Amino acid sequence: MGVSLTTRRAFIVCTIRGSLALGATALLSACGAGTGTPAPTTPPAAAGATPAAAPTTTGAPTAAAPAAAATTGPATVATGDINLYVGGDVNIRDLWSKELLPAYKKVKPDVSFNMIFDEHALAEQAVFDRLAAAKQAGKPSGVDLWEATGRLQIGGEAGLIQKLSTKEIPNLDKVPKDAFDRFGGYGVPYRASSVVLAYNSAEVKEPPKTLDALLNWIKSNDGKFTYNPPDKGGSGGNFVTRVLEIGIPEDQLRFFQTQYDESKEVLWEKGWAILKELHPHIYNNGFYPPGNIPVLQTLGKGAISMAPVWSDQSLSYLAQKLLPPEVKLLQIDPPFAGSAAYLGIPTDSQHKETLYEFLNWLLTPEPQLIIVNRINGYPGLDWKYMPAEVQQKYADIAKAYSFSFSPKFDTDRNKLWYEKVVGTPPPTPTS
């Protein structure tokens, strides 16, 4: 007995000693591997509602391109089908495969789509690489319709994506102009979501309707408001952006949304001061739940009575009774940011005419209503072209939304928020 125990112990000691150097080195190389973000670091809730925001900075490994091409290759054989590349969560897959495509089949029975679904839109860079490679090789890419955001414009400017106008798709004139121009007119914004203000109407009888009123409300209702850290989800992120925009002159906003220059960040100081001033009035003496969903849960438990939330997530939570029915949504003035999902047509597609017709149909009330009902999304169409009862139902949030900062400004904002708002710097600031 004693012998075997000693042996077991010697074995454990040996194994552990051997793994000492290994484990410690792994710690270091975990940061050096450079193959992207490890899975647990993705803010769990942000993925669904935040359309891929950093098209140019995500260094997707180039090795993924041939892999993606290989898996989707067999599907792209020339059957005359239209290859549709969309990505997102399961709700988006169901929206297309169970609702939109069958609905169009009834309108145009002879047009058939072949959907290539990219879970969580992780292979967007791979599709882009595929388009670029096809152009270089002078061969068709096999991509006919592609859902993306910033990469549509990058691709468009490189001659990979068709520029669109009301000439090809007449219904584009019913789409909010800002949303269509956001990525240079290389895609059709067919659905959207935005951040809105959620409040518990049982506790808040007169909700604030403007940003100033909201800031005053927070200060006079201690512990009843919170938002998530800007790097952990778009709902808190867009609240922070909205406050930072207070210090940015109107004519500079476009720059913050599209370009990057670190020296302009001094314009944020006014916003940081306001957020720091709010800090002691935030829930639980200044606690920010780590994500879009944790904020919704805090609201659902009744611990707070107001918070910025994503429109689609909160509407789905209300529908599933995960939020009490007293919770109401409204869009403030000036509005929080939102964004649309865009569909673009590669220049080498053989089905352009068919697709123009399809996209024009997609911008009619019937399919738009499917989007509103099925995933609680905003329509791509301007709200005024939607049926009256939909307008009425969404009256408090059916308004224009603003746009978020460009990816590089966003990452700087994330870091500065920790330092300027929650961090406690010593009284004499260094460098």
Partner 1 sequence: MARVREAALGLALVAPPIAILLLLIILPAIQALTFSLGLVPSENVTFSSGQHLVRSDIPTLEVYRQLLASPFVIDDLRLTLSVTVLSVIFVAIVGYILALYVRFGNGWLPRIVRSLYLIPMFVPVVIASYAAVTFYVDRGFLASLFWHLGLGYTSPAYKPAGIVITQVWYNIPFAVLMLGSGLDGIEQELIDSAHDVGAGFFSVLWRIILPLNLVPLLIVLTFTFIGVIGSFTIPFLIGPNAPQMIGVAIQAYFSNYNQPQPAVAMAVIVFAIAALAGVLYVWATSRSNRHAVTL
Residues that bind partner 1 (CB under 8 A): 2, 5-6, 8-10, 12-13, 16-17, 20-37, 40-41, 54, 57, 59, 229, 231-232, 262, 284, 286-288, 290, 301, 303, 407-408, 411-412, 414-415, 418-419, 422-426, 429-431
CA distances from 222 to 27, 47, 202, 219, 326 (A): 42, 31, 17, 6, 20
Residue 307 CA to its chain's centroid (Å): 18
Tell me which residue of 129, 416, 403, 140 sits closest to 265, measured CA to CA: 416
Q: Is 150 exposed, middle or buried (0-12, 13-18, 19+ CB in 10 A)?
A: buried
CB of 207 to partner 1, least distance (A): 24
Rounded distance, CA 358 to CA 342, Å? 14
CB of 22 to partner 1, least distance (A): 7
Buried b / exposed e over 276-311, threshold 16 CB at 10 Å, is eebeebbbeeeebbbbbbbbbbbbbeeebbbbbbbb
Question: Please, which residue, 144 or 231, has the CB nearer to partner 1?
Answer: 231
Question: Please, which residue, 147 or 231, has the CB nearer to partner 1?
Answer: 231
Ramachandran bin of 185, using left for φ above 0, alpha for ψ from -120 to 50, beta for the remaining angles: left
Paired sense of beta strands 338-344 and 145-148, if any: antiparallel
Rounded distance, CA 135 to CA 123, Å? 19
CB of 162 to partner 1, least distance (A): 28
Bridge partners of 147? 343
Question: Please, which residue, 144 or 410, has the CB nearer to partner 1?
Answer: 410
Question: Please, which residue, 91 or 414, has the CB nearer to partner 1?
Answer: 414
CB of 226 to partner 1, least distance (A): 11
Rounded distance, CA 142 to CA 131, Å? 9
Question: Please, which residue, 239 or 394, has the CB nearer to partner 1?
Answer: 239
CB of 362 to partner 1, least distance (A): 34
Question: Please, which residue, 196 or 295, has the CB nearer to partner 1?
Answer: 295
CB of 27 to partner 1, least distance (A): 5
CB of 378 to partner 1, least distance (A): 27
CB of 328 to partner 1, least distance (A): 22
Q: Measured on CA atoms in the order 346, 348, 349, 354, is the torsion positive or negative? A: positive
Residue 126 CA to its chain's centroid (Å): 19
Question: Please, which residue, 37 or 220, has the CB nearer to partner 1?
Answer: 37
Question: Please, which residue, 57 or 79, has the CB nearer to partner 1?
Answer: 57
Rounded distance, CA 402 to CA 407, Å? 15
Q: What is the DSSP letter of 46?
A: H
CB of 314 to partner 1, least distance (A): 20
Rounded distance, CA 46 to CA 50, Å? 6
Rounded distance, CA 232 to CA 47, Å? 10
Question: Please, which residue, 260 or 385, has the CB nearer to partner 1?
Answer: 260
Rounded distance, CA 53 to CA 57, Å? 9
Residue 291 CA to its chain's centroid (Å): 13
DSSP H or E segment with residue 156: helix 150-157
CB of 120 to partner 1, least distance (A): 15
Tell me which residue of 358, 405, 69, 59 sits closest to 237, measured CA to CA: 405
Question: Please, which residue, 8 or 254, has the CB nearer to partner 1?
Answer: 8
